[in-house]
Amino acid sequence: MRIVVDLTRCQAYAQCVFLAPQVFELHGEEVLLYRPDVPEEQLDRVRQAIAACPVQAILAGEEVNADAR
Amino acid sequence: MAVDTLLERITDYASRPDPYPLYAELREAGVARQTDGSYLVGTYYDIVALLHDPRLSSDRRNRAAPHRDPDVEKEEQQRPSFIRLDDPEHHRLRSMAMRPFGPPHSPGRIDAIRDEITRITGELVESLPGRGRIDVVDDFAYPLPVTVICRLLGVPREDEPVFREWSATIVDSLDIRPGEDPGEREAAGRRARERMGRYLVDLAERRRGRPGDDMLTAFVNDPGPYGEFSREELAATATLLLVAGHETTVNLITNGVLTLLRHPDQLDLLRRDPGLLPGAVEELLRYEPPVHMLQRTPLTRLDIAGTTVPEGVPVVLVPASGSRDPKRFRDPDRFDLTRTDNQHLGFGSGIHLCYGAPLARLEAQAALGALSPRLATATLLEDPPPYRHSAVLRGPRHLPVEL
Amino acid sequence: MPGDPREGRIVVVGASLAGLRAAETLREEGFTGSLTVVGDEPHPPYDRPPLSKQVLLGTAAADATGLPMRREADAEWRLGVRATGLDPLGKRVLLADGDSLPYDRLLIATGTRARPWPHPEQAALDGVFTLRTREDAGILAERLAAGPRRVLVIGAGFTGSEIASACRERGVEVTVAERGPGPLVGALGGTLAKLAAGMQRAHGVDLRCGVTVTALRGRNGRFTGADLSDGSRVDADLCVVALGALRNVEWLADAGLAAGPHGVACDAGCRAFTMYGIVTDDVFVAGDVSRFPHPLFEYQMLSLEHWGNAVAQAEVAAHNMVSPGPLRRPHLTVPVFWSSQFGFTIKSVGVPAFSDQVTIAQGTLAERRLVAVYGYRGRVTAAVTLDMAKWLEHYRTLIETAAPFPPGPGAAGGRPLVTDFPIPSDVPDARGLSHGPTVALTGHLPDRRLTVVRSAG
């Protein structure tokens, strides 16, 4: 799973950090850093983080597979 | 000036089981002056805008007469908790309270308590009878968050009978009851906060210099960049965390059980796919949130959705109505736990977004996950169930269910 | 155009954020025809903002920022091949491999590239980098991890400042050279530039403003340092050239479109203009390569290098590509931008450069938490938050409604009124800066002023 956080929307509520601290990290008070490639064992936590985001800024999915066609 | 009685009708105890038709009326009516001089806002986009509007204060001391608490000077001695303060004081105190609870200083604290929440939940479900009548509130939804918040804060679980009454009095003092003189309730609330504050500060002081992983210990032993809480600040903060840490979650869990029992198809979906739990809790927060109203005070004359609202009057935001606004949510009165576009107002928004939201989410997920297998064959014995009095923190007092 | 707009052939040139979001939106909007996405980089679409943050810090690998798809775009991805030309009459995109792609509708989303150091021999020194691509970030992260004695960053725009921040966080000494009076001054004006300069220096950055780098020096092909216009010299092992971006428009040189250094001009519906200012109906533009008119800024053409704009504009362009005229939508999003550096998040809404005054509406410079509001001739045109992102929405509304400047009283740190009275916003001419601002107002004309040339026959 790949994620991207729309930091235009993000208001640093940090709900994702609480729920998946291995993937999301707060630097200072409002700088959100994250691992764009989610490790297998973090999938459940990241799904919780996605659901919990108060501004629905976390997008998850698979990378484009350019060879699919 | 238009005057409306909607606030009276909404807060009327008879409306407690189903305030939603009144909320629909409110959204339709727009922003209007209520009989007590306050203004009520129920539309999604207006509420979101107001929660992000620096011209609205959370500090009641900004209210003008006659909305000002006559004993407000006593409030000066009893510091408001951060939920009733504006920045920069709000920011400083919330950051200090956050230090042992969440990021940036303690990002893993809530994640680390997952297993314990699961264990406590499991034990509570185990202790329920195999068949027969239970009260979801007393037997399950209340003990869970109480045990968890006691554990996190470092309050002895066996002291629950000590703080139960104080907590109830404080919740009572937060209610909105137009037409009733709030003086007595507010005075009682102040006394209860004072006692609970003293109790919690004493607990904290006994931990000074001693190691421990609870938050009271951290508050007195590990001050961050903002320094140490004053005694009054610590009392107000710890009281807020203890009360808010369970009085709202009990409603979230109970509302969840009630709503699932009323929607057997959704319960069935959830039982078959526990992966739906996070989304189910979000949908609950939208559909049957524990907190229905938030109070603010304009620092200046404001235009809210075409209505001019004077400075210093109570503005009552109804996020529980906003989360049912058809202008924002498709089919808003449908409980759909697979809903994806769900930017609800269950925890508020803006700088005062619920401090304990991550904890409440995990508790509700654990509770509904553990209980839903038992609900398949359960029946509601009273529908609607008897409700607690508060229109602000709304939830059943009891929820009798036959397993 | 005959037939159902949801059928036919669509080619998207550009396989980054805007290209990907456009491809997804085309399918979401019911496009059932053939869809081809062309990208000159060999990779599937990836996210760039983490390249100057997580990747340089070493917390994410350079190849780990692939963008997730919202939905399967069901497209043919022609990656690693550059578009070299456009035949608008024959309706074909020409590719570097000699192939050509016929289209019924075309989306231009070729974005930007890093502006290179102007002296090719100096730029070729080992240790001199720009930062735009995954490869750039990967090698720069590697070199930072090796523990250089000092890094020289040329240009104190957002990218340059973020690189400097990453260096300091890794404990690497860094010198930043900026021709303008302060970091970020092109985007935020003089007042906040002073704050940014203070932040950089507090974090140990050797910040040199008002100077230019006159030459990069090397020994045996390796970068060793640089000469500055004030006569000083900086010894460093690495140099990152952060002089802003160039629009990827060269491939359109013979296409007859209004394409220039500021990008490809389009209308509010993302339709490209020809060089005569005539709007096309089969060529659309989105993302960093576009210039589009904005009603909030006197209908001047805006050039933005913003993540959020790429997404929003791609969605509008895609919608309009598959919708009949009356159902088309304008791209009116208020620009929003963010940057994180030195432990702070800076967010901006509106166009701070479109201002004559600025005031601190919430927070204080001393707390390093604040909202600065910008005004132009008495109305609010922009706001910048420093670690106060939760308030940004309010100011967007003020901008959208052309609210009076300075804004009225608010809960500004418990104080009932605006804290400072307005002062000049002090936005310099972008031509005097090392860094190119990521937002620019580029006038009303879709192209250079044309002169009618009559042939003498």
CA separation, residue B58 to residues B53, B90, B291, C429 (Å): 11, 9, 16, 42
Residues of B in contact with C363 (CB under 8 A): 87-88
What is the extent of the structural domain holding A44? 2-61
A26 touches chain B (CB under 8 A): yes
SS3 B319: helix
Contact flag C414-B91 (C-beta cutoff 8 Å): no
Res. B264 pLDDT band, cuts 50 70 90:
very high
Contact flag A19-B279 (C-beta cutoff 8 Å): no
Residue A66 has pLDDT above 80, yes or no: no
In a domain, A68, yes or no: no
C306 touches chain A (CB under 8 A): yes
A30 touches chain C (CB under 8 A): yes
Residue C419 has pLDDT above 80, yes or no: no
Q: Count A/C contacts: CB-CB distance under 8 Å.
A: 104
Query: Which CATH number characterizes residue A56's domain?
Result: 3.30.70.20
SS3 B361: helix
Which residue bears the tokens 């508050």? B219
Contact flag C70-A30 (C-beta cutoff 8 Å): no
pLDDT in tens, C61-117: 999 999 999 888 999 999 999 999 999 999 999 999 999 999 999 999 999 999 999
Q: How many domains does chain A contain in total?
A: 1
Contact flag B91-C369 (C-beta cutoff 8 Å): yes
Contact flag C411-B89 (C-beta cutoff 8 Å): no
Q: Which residues contact B360 (CB under 8 A, 6 or more apart)?
A: B145, B248, B249, B252, B347, B354
Residue C455 has pLDDT above 80, yes or no: no
Give the model's pLDDT for residue C431: 73
- By the 8 A CB rule, do C151 and C240 touch? yes
Residues of A in contact with C307 (CB under 8 A): 6-8
- Alpha helix positions (H), C326-432: 392-400
**ipTM for the complex shown:** 0.96
Contact flag B86-C394 (C-beta cutoff 8 Å): no
What distance in Å separates the CA atoms of residue C210 and residue B251, rounded to the nearest whole number?
61
Helix (H) or strand (E) holding B358: helix B357-375
What distance in Å separates the CA atoms of residue C271 and residue C253, rounded to the nearest whole number?
18
Average predicted confidence (pLDDT) for chain B: 95
Contact flag B361-A48 (C-beta cutoff 8 Å): yes
Rg (C-alpha) for chain A, rounded Å, is: 12
C65 touches chain A (CB under 8 A): yes
Nearest Cβ partner for B358 among A19, A25, A27: A19
Our CA dihedral for B237, B241, B247, B249, rounded to 10 degrees, sits at 150
Interface-testing mutation among A1, A9, A18, with chain B (most B C-beta atoms within 10 A) = A18
Residues of C in contact with A33 (CB under 8 A): 50, 53-54, 57, 59, 340
Contact flag B343-A54 (C-beta cutoff 8 Å): yes
Nearest CA in chain B to A13: B353
Contact flag A21-B103 (C-beta cutoff 8 Å): yes
Percent of chain C with pLDDT over 70: 94
CA-closest candidate to residue A35, choices A24, A43, A27, A20: A24
Residues of A in contact with B110 (CB under 8 A): 18-19
Nearest CA in chain C to A1: C68
Residue B85 has pLDDT above 80, yes or no: yes
Mean pLDDT on C385-405: 95
Q: Which chains touch C (3 or more CB pairs under 8 A)?
A: A, B
pLDDT in tens, B155-210: 999 999 999 999 999 999 999 998 888 889 999 999 999 999 999 999 999 999 99
Contact flag C336-A34 (C-beta cutoff 8 Å): no
Residues of B in contact with C397 (CB under 8 A): 49
CA separation, residue C209 to residues B173, C67, C119, C196, C432 (Å): 58, 36, 22, 12, 12
Chain C residues contacting B, CB < 8 Å?
A: 361-363, 367, 369, 371, 390-391, 393-394, 397, 408-414, 416
Res. C456 pLDDT band, cuts 50 70 90:
low
- Through-space distance between the first and last CA atoms of chain A, rounded to whole angstroms: 20
| Residue C68 per-residue DSSP state | B
Look up the pTM and report it.
0.94
Residue B72 has pLDDT above 70, yes or no: no
Give the model's pLDDT for residue C432: 76
Residue B123 has pLDDT above 70, yes or no: yes
In a domain, A19, yes or no: yes
Cα–Cα–Cα angle for C59, C60, C61, rounded to 5 degrees: 130
Give the model's pLDDT for residue B70: 65
Mean pLDDT on C418-442: 72
Nearest Cβ partner for B351 among C367, C390, C413: C390
In a domain, A31, yes or no: yes
Say whether the peptide bond before residue B384 is cis (omega within 30 degrees of 0).
yes
Tokens encoding A24: 């999301």
Residues of C in contact with B52 (CB under 8 A): 390-391, 393-394
Mean pLDDT on C438-456: 70
Nearest CA in chain C to B226: C367
Give the model's pLDDT for residue C424: 80
Give the model's pLDDT for residue B4: 83
CA-closest candidate to residue B303, choices B295, B311, B294, B291: B311
Strand partners, C109: none
What distance in Å separates the CA atoms of residue B403 and residue B135, rounded to the nearest whole number?
10
CA-closest candidate to residue C36, choices C109, C90, C103, C86: C103
Interface-testing mutation among B87, B343, B351, with chain A (most A C-beta atoms within 10 A) = B343
Strand partners, C64: none
Nearest Cβ partner for C68 among A25, A35, A63: A63
pLDDT in tens, B306-364: 999 999 999 999 999 999 999 999 999 999 999 999 999 999 999 999 999 999 999 99
B55 touches chain C (CB under 8 A): yes
Strand partners, C362: C371
Percent of chain B with pLDDT over 90: 93
Nearest CA in chain B to A32: B104
Residues of B in contact with A28 (CB under 8 A): 104
Q: Which residues contact C452 (CB under 8 A, 6 or more apart)?
A: none
Give the model's pLDDT for residue B2: 62
Contact flag C70-A59 (C-beta cutoff 8 Å): yes
Residue A68 has pLDDT above 70, yes or no: no
Q: For C289-303, C380-394, C422-436, which range has the lowest pLDDT when averaged over its residues? A: C422-436
Residue C250, amino acid:
E
CA separation, residue C230 to residues B288, C32, C212, C436 (Å): 67, 61, 8, 22
Residue C115, amino acid:
R
Q: Which chains touch A (3 or more CB pairs under 8 A)?
A: B, C
Q: Count A/B contacts: CB-CB distance under 8 Å.
A: 57
Tokens encoding B339: 């809903």
User: How many other C-beta atoms can be found within 10 angstroms of the C-beta atom of residue C58?
Assistant: 14
Nearest Cβ partner for A28 among B104, B107, B357: B104
Q: Which residues contact C420 (CB under 8 A, 6 or more apart)?
A: C359, C360
Residues of A in contact with B364 (CB under 8 A): none
Pairing of strands C279-285, C105-108: parallel
Pairing of strands C128-129, C112-114: unpaired
CA-closest candidate to residue C381, choices C422, C350, C425, C421: C350
Contact flag A52-B357 (C-beta cutoff 8 Å): yes
Which residue bears the tokens 């397993």? B403
> How close does chain B come to C394, measured CA to CA in Å?
6
- Per CATH, domain C9-113+246-327 is 3.30.300.30: no
B236 touches chain C (CB under 8 A): no
Helix (H) or strand (E) holding C282: strand C279-285
CATH superfamily of domain region C116-243: FAD/NAD(P)-binding domain (3.50.50.60)
Counting DSSP H helices and E strands in chain A, the numbers are: 2, 4
| Residue B339 per-residue DSSP state | -
Residue A44 has pLDDT above 70, yes or no: yes
What is the extent of the structural domain holding B324? 3-402
Average predicted confidence (pLDDT) for chain C: 92
Interface-testing mutation among C338, C369, C384, C385, with chain A (most A C-beta atoms within 10 A) = C338
Give the model's pLDDT for residue C414: 41
CA-closest candidate to residue B288, choices B228, B368, B221: B368
What distance in Å separates the CA atoms of residue B60 and residue C234, rounded to the nearest whole number?
57
SS3 B4: strand
- By the 8 A CB rule, do C237 and C150 touch? yes
Res. C442 pLDDT band, cuts 50 70 90:
confident
- By the 8 A CB rule, do C296 and C352 touch? no
CA separation, residue B270 to residues A19, B276, C194, C299, C335 (Å): 21, 6, 55, 52, 41
Pairing of strands C238-241, C128-129: parallel
> How close does chain A come to B323, measured CA to CA in Å?
13
Residue C326, amino acid:
P
Mean pLDDT on C243-253: 96
> How close does chain C come to B49, measured CA to CA in Å?
7
Give the model's pLDDT for residue B59: 93
Helix (H) or strand (E) holding B111: helix B109-112
Which residue bears the tokens 């839903």? B372
Provide the angle, in degrees to the nearest 10, between the axes of the packed helices B114-127 and B143-153. Answer: 150
Strand partners, C294: C300
Residue B224 has pLDDT above 70, yes or no: yes
What distance in Å separates the CA atoms of residue B230 and residue C4, rounded to the nearest whole number?
70
Query: Which CATH number characterizes residue B311's domain?
Result: 1.10.630.10
Give the model's pLDDT for residue C417: 40
Res. C452 pLDDT band, cuts 50 70 90:
low
Name the B residues in 154-183 with CB < 8 Å from any C CB. Answer: none
Contact flag B349-A14 (C-beta cutoff 8 Å): no
Q: How many domains does chain B contain in total?
A: 1
C336 touches chain A (CB under 8 A): yes
Strand arrangement of the beta sheet that strand C238-241 belongs to: C128-129, C238-241, C150-154, C173-178, C206-209
pLDDT in tens, B38-55: 999 999 999 999 999 999
> How close does chain B come to C319, measured CA to CA in Å?
20
Residue C413 has pLDDT above 50, yes or no: no
Give the model's pLDDT for residue C415: 46
What distance in Å separates the CA atoms of residue C268 and residue C291, rounded to the nearest whole number?
10
Res. C327 pLDDT band, cuts 50 70 90:
very high
Say whether the peptide bond before residue B66 is cis (omega within 30 degrees of 0).
yes
What distance in Å separates the CA atoms of residue C135 and residue C142, rounded to the nearest whole number?
11
Nearest CA in chain A to B359: A18
Mean pLDDT on C223-247: 97
Contact flag B278-A26 (C-beta cutoff 8 Å): no
Nearest Cβ partner for A17 among B107, B275, B362: B107
Residues of B in contact with A13 (CB under 8 A): 353
Percent of chain C with pLDDT over 90: 83
Residue C438 has pLDDT above 90, yes or no: no
In a domain, A67, yes or no: no
Nearest CA in chain C to B87: C413
